[in-house]
Amino acid sequence: MIARVLLSATRVWVPVVIAIAGLVGIVIGHGKSAAAGAGVGLVIVAIIVWMMNWMYRMSIDSNREREREEEARVYFDRHGRWPDE
């Protein structure tokens, strides 16, 4: 349960909070001050954090697909046919 909450927070809420802080900085700085520049930087960081989480999930899914393929090949070697045939 706690692990699920932490995972959700890392995947979704951390980038959202960073992006909101960035948008607040942009609004406070009126697009012309250091606060606005920091806000833009925070929005970019939020996008990077989200993309890193997305790429990690893609990597995990890819590993699972490889494991299933390897299991199918072992089954084929033993039985002479693919498991789903």
- The three-state secondary structure class of 80 is coil
Give the total number of structural domains in the chain.
1
Tell me: pLDDT of 26 over 90. Answer: yes
CB 22 within 8 A of CB 40: yes
Q: Does residue 85 fall inside a structural domain?
A: no
Query: What pLDDT, on a 0 to 100 scale, did the predictor assign at position 3?
Result: 84
**What is the Cα–Cα distance from 24 to 58, expressed in whole angstroms?**
31
Q: Does residue 20 fall inside a structural domain?
A: yes
Percent of the chain past pLDDT 70, that is, above it, reads: 100
pLDDT tens-place string over residues 36-70:
999 999 999 999 999 999 998 888 888 888 888 88
**38 is written with which tokens?**
């920091």
What number of other Cβ atoms are within 10 A of residue 33's Cβ? 13
Q: Does residue 70 fall inside a structural domain?
A: yes
Q: Does residue 84 fall inside a structural domain?
A: no
Which domain range does residue 43 map to? 2-79
Instruction: Estimate to the nearest angstrom the gap between the alpha carbon of 2 and the chain centroid.
Output: 19
